Structure 1
Amino acid sequence: MCKKESLKILFERRSVRSFKEEQIKDSELEIILKAAQFAPSAMGQQPWHFTVIQDKEILNRINVLTRKVYEKSGIPRLEERAKAENFSPFYNAPTYIIVSVDEKSVAPIADGALALGNALLAAEGLGIGSCWIHAVNYLYTTDEGKELFRELGMPEGYIPIGSAAFGYIAGEKPEPAPRREGNINIIK
């Protein structure tokens, strides 16, 4: 891949919130996960664990539990979102990946975020839509959520830092939001 193609992927990736029901191919999932595993990490620790969920029953269970958390959150925007008839924290995407990290590692949040970022960029390169989903962090604050994560195989001593929805895009990819200005200082 040339530099121009790499930059194109960086500049064209968007958060997609409308997915086809069709499951992504296993070969595409493998590439997304490999890209995540090749993210930089503090001191090379690679403290991440990836939980890939494509089972509709488990995805539905996550929906139900997350709706409960949102309803009781005290955050008006989340409470309002939970009222939606078609509520899905991951926008009904067919593939949902949770990134958890060893909380005793040197920089767990940064390492996990970089891994998830690599996964999102790899998906873009494959023509697969994706969206960072923070709901997993709210879900983990509940006893039911922690129990679910244990059932899903999250290692002991690990905490979720984020997740993402993946699937083929239904409709048009969103236009980029204007970039915020005044957030760069260059000191020479």
Structure 2
Amino acid sequence: MNHVLENIKSRRSVRQYKNEQIKDEELDKMLEAATYAPTGGNDQPWYFTVLQNEDLIKEVNEGAKAVMREMDVEWIAQMGANEQFNIFHRAPTVIIVSGRKDAVTPMIDCSAAVQNMLLAAESMDIGSCWIGFAKFFFENPENMKKFNIPENYEVYFGVSLGYKGQKNPEASERNKEVFNYFK
């Protein structure tokens, strides 16, 4: 099978990581892959904040969970209240993905960048997980400033990265009833 297709089919969200930090060269390759994502009007509106400091990752985790605890969506509030839950699954590296607000399609563009990052990680046998909860911490403008995220940007996602603590599970069955052809 084609290596790209094999990589796409084998990638899974990893929620268990080894304590070992990923290598700088590996991180650089994943970030570079992110910047090759397609964008509306070639805006390239992304901004990546790399966290490898355990205390800062913990601060973002705890801050996001504090916001989650106050939400009206019951399951999110419960996750925020769970002392054992870590939004980044205790990964040694976290990337905060922000998009420039005045871009044509910043959230879509950043989503494509995240997917490139996840696939690059899998190609190097590095675990990854796309984290939507990370944005909650950055709803506070002071937190944006603390992490040097430019004023005209909005945080959309986080990505947790680290060496896998377990082997990827098999893919669940895919829904094949989602195609409509006109030839």
Task: Report what 2:163 is aligned to.
Answer: 168
* Displacement after TM superposition at 1:93 (Å): 0.4
Match for residue 122 of structure 2?
A: 124
Tell me if 1:148 matches 2:143.
yes
Contact 1:63/1:87 (<8 A) preserved: no
Query: Counterpart of 2:9?
Result: 11
In structure 2, distance between residues paired with 1:125 and 1:6: 9
In the TM superposition, residue 153 of structure 1 has moved relative to its aligned partner by 1.2
**What's 1:95 paired with?**
93
Structure-2 separation of matches of 1:173 and 1:152: 32
Cα distance in structure 2, aligned partners of 1:131 and 1:62: 16
Q: Matched residues in 1 for 2:60 and 2:136: separation?
A: 12
State the aligned residue count: 183
Q: Deviations over 1:88-131 (max 9, x none)?
A: 10101000011111110111111111011100000000100000
- Percent of aligned pairs sharing the same letter: 36
Structure 1 residue 79 corresponds to structure 2 residue 94: no
State the one-letter code of the partner of 1:186: Y
Q: Which residue of 2 aligns with 1:109?
A: 107
**Corresponding position: 1:46 with 2:41:** no
Give the drift of 1:64. Answer: 1.3
Is residue 134–residue 163 contact of structure 1 (8 Å, CA) maintained in 2?
Answer: yes
Kindly state the Cα deviation for residue 85 of structure 1 after the two structures are TM-superposed.
2.9
Instruction: Tell me whether 71-80 or 90-99 shows the greater mean CA deviation.
Output: 71-80
- The answer for the alignment partner of 1:177 in structure 2 is 172
3-state secondary structure, aligned to 2:56: helix
What SS is found at the alignment partner of 1:140? helix
Take 2:69 and 2:6, find their aligned partners in 1: how far apart are those partners?
39
What displacement does 1:140 show? 3.1
Structure 1 gap ranges (5+): none
TM normalised by structure 1 equals 0.92
List runs of 5+ in structure 2 lacking aligned partners.
Answer: none
Is the CA contact 2:10–2:168 (under 8 Å) kept in the aligned structure 1? Answer: no
Instruction: Output the amino acid matched with 1:154.
Output: I
Q: Is the Cα contact below 8 Å between 2:16 and 2:165 reproduced in 1?
A: yes
Q: CA deviation at 1:34?
A: 0.4
State the shift of 1:172 in Å: 2.6
